Structure 1
């Protein structure tokens, strides 16, 4: 059940939202940044990485994304 939710979550965010943002901004590095963010989130949902690492990594990625807007 969790794996299906994670796959659906990645499809919705990565395919729909990211493509719209890249068409508007045309920034290549934003693609990698958001991909890392989604991977950390999905691994956290599956409990494949420790919570402390995911919390710190999410803070850093979110902070960098917020600086781009």
Structure 2
């Protein structure tokens, strides 16, 4: 902050925390985005397992039934 006049040096006490918080928010945003991209292929499997656990159904049988419904619905229309 050497190019700032002496009477504005107090701004450095405000700018440094704002800069640090901004950098942390940007890194947090990119980390969250990257984590979601990595986890996205598994979201469907996790949702199936959770729904099977909540309804008490067998997850493998439930997955087969849902696949069968999707495949036959296309031919019935």
Tell me if TM exceeds 0.5.
Answer: no
With normalisation by structure 2, the TM-score equals: 0.29
Which protein has greater RCO, CA pairs closer than 8 Å, 6+ apart? 1
